[in-house]
Structure 1
Amino acid sequence: MALPKTSKWINTYFTISVWLKNYTREDLSGDIFAGIITAILLLPQGIAYAMLAGLPPQVGLYASILPPLIYALLGTSKTLSVGPVSIAAIMIASVLTAPEITELGSTVENAIILAAEGGFILLFMAMLRMGGLVNFISHPVLTGFTSGAAILIVLSQIPHLLGLSKPQCGLDLACYGDYFQHFNHYTVGLSLFSILLLLSFGSPLAMLLKQFKVRPNMIIGFSKSAPLLAVIMTTLLVKFYQLSDLHNVSIVGEIQPGLPNISFAFFSNITQWQALLPGATFIAIIAYVESVAIAKVTANLRNQKINPNQELIALGAANLATAFSGGMSVAGGFSRTMVNFTAGARTQMAMLIAVVLLSITVIFFAEQFTYLPKAALAAVILIAIFPLIKLRKIITTWKYDPGDGIAELITLLGVLALGIEKGIALGVIITILCYLRRTSHPHIAVVGRIKATQHFRNIKRHQVETWKKLLLIRIDENISFANVSYIIDFIEEETLNNKELKHVILIFSSVSYIDSTAFEALENLINTLKKQHILLHLAEVKGPVLDKLNQTDLLDQLSPGLVFFQTIDAVEQLSA
């Protein structure tokens, strides 16, 4: 008896055991190619996102080794590429540069604690079965946050692209005129070279290769090798022409070779853990929401399923792993995942192959990237991030739903003006307020019957049959304390000064829940209508609602009003 239960437990939590049992040679061929292509992206992105977070390059590289291995064991997405990501990096930088945090320990140690706390938070959420949390941050808020964070990232890379120190001008616009005059010509040259290389390896190269009938997966391989090629070529230029020594071109510096050591030393300082907890919470939640959203995109394309709660476990364990190995917080990266997917990855074996290749590079070739210019990394970040700025999306959202459009715009502006954590918190608050406003003003329709049918439609939209002594009202929302006053006011306005009216029929076809405040309001409405010699009736009441009604005395108060199974039954009986 114990063996089947153990096997089921392993298959549930160690998802690698499920796909590995059915692994084929065809899967391996796809995974090998995808793994090579993804490894090409892992190296420059690992270093670039560490720089974006204000951390040494090896912190980003370490975060690209052990976390993907852990996710491969536990994750439910077959193609999600877990590692350092731009949005998490800019959030880490925001937390680590706060004055109250800079006083506590080293930057690297604080970054490791952020990752560890994020891991524990995600695992705690998994224990509480909070996988559905992904549904509580609306898409407009997430888009506004992503656009705002992307703008911050782009602005943060301008000094690296121009070879300037971080500006100290604040709101003094005249200061910036003098600031930009001191740019480094050689750094700008390297930046332009890198940007042009990255752009030319995108759509232009893909179109050219298609004309030569090159296979689609090979086109992906060539086009996605641009970041690594830019890194290698600019490093050689800096080293050969001694641009760092002679012309003050900023470089990454020495990268510690070898695999990371496992350490638990970061557990010692409780003060740091307390100070970093709010920031870690925001980073963990955003990392989870973005990762699941990305995983769902690729899973839907292959009719696969994602288990949100298991993703909490996988991402939580991956963040603990990165902390123990000296890395930064990790999440699912959109660009790497899409490259991994389109390159033909069938399973997480592709990421395992990518990690092996990256590990070999870190062990044997890390020293070769000492002269890597920060300008090239800034260009890699710029090209990867720029598509995430979706200002037109705000207009599209606004046209469809002004409330969502406002939430998206305020989130973006909040991120830019107040900072990342406050910006997204503001966006969530605005979304909740807009939702409460919508629910407090539900759609209510006076309906009539389409002649010679049993269908009832809004009298303002259709040519329908109505009756002087019958009033049919359809409520298209659950009834609660938030909207019951609005509903009662609507009904009273429709019945006011209607001398011939004898019956009001409330159609509950869209009502799934009525709270206690609404019950009391309906009881008062029944008595108010009776004083006007009008009877209230109910139609198409759902089972759960009827069960609740039977637990109260509302049906007794309704009498001689009736509850009808169908609206047509009420019309036929009461209009006779």
Structure 2
Amino acid sequence: MVRIEKILPILAWGKAYDRAVMTSDLVAAMIVTIMLIPQSLAYAMLADLPPEVGLYASILPLVAYAVFGTSRALAVGPVAVVSLMTASAIGQIAEQGTADYLTAATVLALLSGAMLVLMGVFRLGFLANFLSHPVISGFITASGLLIAASQLKHILGVPVKGDTLPDILGGLLSNIGNVNPITLAIGGGAIAFLYFARSRLKGLLTGSGLNSRLSDILTKTAPILTVAITILIAATFDLGSRGVMLVGAIPQGLPVPALPTFSLDLVAALAGPVLLISAIGFVESVSVAQTLASKRRQRIVPDQELIGLGAANIASAISSGFPVTGGFARSVVNFDAGAETPAAGIFTAIGIALAALYLTPLLASLPQATLAATIIVAVLSLVDFKAIRSVFGYSKADFAAMAATILVTLLLGVEPGILSGVLLSLALHLYRTSRPHMAVVGLVPGTEHFRNIERHKVITDPSILSIRVDESLYFANSRYLEDRIAALVADHPKVRHVILMCPAVNAIDASALESLEEINHRLNDAGITFHLSEIKGPVMDRLKRSDFLQQLTGSVYLCQYEAMVALRGKGQAPIYHSA
């Protein structure tokens, strides 16, 4: 039974489900449903898909995640960054507005779901670690700017094409004389109101005497209020006939679940985007889930999260949706509204389904500028210039990867942006670890501790050269290790013993082992004995599987102090170093 509960977490939390928990979940679901309706429509538009597709992608995925996911508060569905990546991926292989475009979107969700499930089954969640935080942060910041810029055409009421910032800005400038003033007034007014609601409304409501939770709920309803007001204005004044682009008729009802039909050529064309969307979606989702779980001292299982997120995407595909993931904003709202279990997601799905069945006729007069305003206000919160300054001050190498990701994403598009960031991060990691920090160390007087002679007041023995290496040893730094030890030995002509201190060495690969053998051989030829100290257990286990320890001219010591006591030269005057 325990094994089944690991595969189906719903069985674990479902056993303790009662009326009090259900009440909390229902309240949270009502709030998230109100928030999710305009968001779903907006993110479908961002992906260049019909608005109803956003609703479809917010129904079955929530149910699937509730069955297989481990987070109690995560709310899955369309999100800004994944919607942008979807548009970028399928825009290259199908024409917007065609049946092939919609098919490509559903196949993208299906393939992404299948990949995530397989990664979960084979416990490959660690692969997401290759996306460093600066790269992810830079990509999300650039995507936020790119998304906001792409929605300005709906705010201004002008036709603009392009997936990069230069193309978008160029198109806006070339059409600046064709701006529709009514559309601009609606879009600008919606942005102003939504920004006011996000930044000031809660404070004003609590200041007027409302309790904090009610004020927060009212603040979260600002997008749906904006939608209602602009629909009323557009319908009353027939703004569609005055050049204002409206959402138009939305099919009423729900799609019949079915797997999309696709060809091997389409799968091959989507293979690259599927990998990137799956990785970005998982990283974003698991980060949100872990953050919320820690606040309640709960835990999530990353590999099971892969399965839950994969199931959500497969569910989206069979219900004519597009790729989904855990969204930060809606998950935080779900958490703050008091959601206790994933059942809140099931109730939210029911609410969205009812909206698709009965409310879509009311959305026909919704100005596209309103949805664009919703997107702009939402995604600008993703732009984190503070993180850029922080990374710049802390690590120039990480800043280089972040800056490259931002610039390439803005100038060339989302896929080249994330690829450049990942490749540069790996290249910088290889460069840094290929030249590991190595220090000559000495004994801190009155202790058994050894520290860098250039940083601390220490004592050394002229016949002993103690070298600490602060990195695992592998093919990229093995030659550097040889050269560095050779240079240090040349600078210390009285040395008779070299001790390689390895407290930070977590692994030694075959290339590094050959280098250690070569170092041992060269030192022996020079009349110098080679020793090791503070070797970690797993590393020692691997060394024992080779014949290196039998060839070693010296000994392996448990600690550096033990080595120093055993090898200390008689009659040698100690050397005092003052950093």
Whether the 8 Å contact between 1:134 and 1:292 is mirrored in structure 2 is no
Distance apart, 1:416 and its partner CA: 1.6
Q: Does residue 370 in structure 1 map to residue 382 in structure 2?
A: no
C-alpha separation in 2, matches of 1:189 and 1:347: 42
Distance apart, 1:433 and its partner CA: 0.5
Whether the 8 Å contact between 2:161 and 2:168 is mirrored in structure 1 is no
Q: Partner residue of 2:305?
A: 311
The amino acid across from 1:159 in the alignment is: K
The one-character-per-residue Cα deviations of 1:487-533 (angstroms, maximum 9, x if unpaired) are 22222221115332221111122222222222222222222222332
C-alpha separation in 2, matches of 1:357 and 1:540: 61
Query: Quick one: structure 1 residues 15 and 172, their matched pair in 2 at CA, closer, same or farther if it must change by over 3 Å?
Result: closer
**Structure 2 stretches lacking a partner, 5+ long:** 571-579
Q: Does residue 569 in structure 1 map to residue 553 in structure 2?
A: no
The amino acid across from 1:456 in the alignment is: F
Q: Does residue 382 in structure 1 map to residue 376 in structure 2?
A: yes
Whether the 8 Å contact between 2:44 and 2:53 is mirrored in structure 1 is yes
The one-character-per-residue Cα deviations of 1:140-167 (angstroms, maximum 9, x if unpaired) are 1111111121121111101100111125
Q: Partner residue of 2:347?
A: 353
Distance apart, 1:185 and its partner CA: 0.8
Whether the 8 Å contact between 2:409 and 2:418 is mirrored in structure 1 is yes
**Structure 1 stretches lacking a partner, 5+ long:** 1-6
The amino acid across from 2:234 in the alignment is: V
Moved more, 276-285 or 82-91: 276-285
SS of alignment partner, residue 466 of structure 2: strand
Distance apart, 1:53 and its partner CA: 0.7
Whether the 8 Å contact between 2:160 and 2:172 is mirrored in structure 1 is no
Aligned counterparts, 1:469-484, within 5 A = 469-484=463-478
C-alpha separation in 1, matches of 2:42 and 2:519: 65
Q: Does residue 210 in structure 1 map to residue 203 in structure 2?
A: no
What is the root-mean-square deviation in Å for CA atoms of aligned residues?
Answer: 2.1
C-alpha separation in 2, matches of 1:30 and 1:103: 41
SS of alignment partner, residue 495 of structure 2: coil
The one-character-per-residue Cα deviations of 1:105-150 (angstroms, maximum 9, x if unpaired) are 5221221111111112222222322122222211111111111211
Whether the 8 Å contact between 1:104 and 1:272 is mirrored in structure 2 is no
Moved more, 490-499 or 154-163: 490-499
Q: Partner residue of 1:238?
A: 234
Q: Partner residue of 1:79?
A: 73
Query: Quick one: structure 1 residues 565 and 296, their matched pair in 2 at CA, closer, same or farther if it must change by over 3 Å?
Result: same
Q: Partner residue of 1:555?
A: 549
The amino acid across from 1:282 in the alignment is: L
Whether the 8 Å contact between 1:167 and 1:179 is mirrored in structure 2 is no
Q: Partner residue of 2:125?
A: 131
Q: Does residue 248 in structure 1 map to residue 243 in structure 2?
A: yes
SS of alignment partner, residue 408 of structure 1: helix
Q: Does residue 17 in structure 1 map to residue 11 in structure 2?
A: yes
Whether the 8 Å contact between 2:506 and 2:539 is mirrored in structure 1 is yes
C-alpha separation in 2, matches of 1:360 and 1:549: 65
Moved more, 124-133 or 314-323: 124-133
Q: Partner residue of 1:542?
A: 536
Paired positions, count: 567
187, 194, 201: which one aligns with 2:197: 201
Query: Quick one: structure 1 residues 404 and 374, their matched pair in 2 at CA, closer, same or farther if it must change by over 3 Å?
Result: same
Query: Quick one: structure 1 residues 203 and 416, their matched pair in 2 at CA, closer, same or farther if it must change by over 3 Å?
Result: closer
The one-character-per-residue Cα deviations of 1:71-93 (angstroms, maximum 9, x if unpaired) are 11111111111111111111111
Distance apart, 1:482 and its partner CA: 1.1
The one-character-per-residue Cα deviations of 1:334-355 (angstroms, maximum 9, x if unpaired) are 1111111112211112222222
Q: Partner residue of 1:260?
A: 255
SS of alignment partner, residue 458 of structure 2: coil
The one-character-per-residue Cα deviations of 1:447-468 (angstroms, maximum 9, x if unpaired) are 1111111111111111111111
Moved more, 543-552 or 300-309: 543-552
C-alpha separation in 1, matches of 2:458 and 2:82: 56
SS of alignment partner, residue 500 of structure 2: strand
SS of alignment partner, residue 445 of structure 1: strand
Distance apart, 1:310 and its partner CA: 1.1
Q: Does residue 149 in structure 1 map to residue 177 in structure 2?
A: no
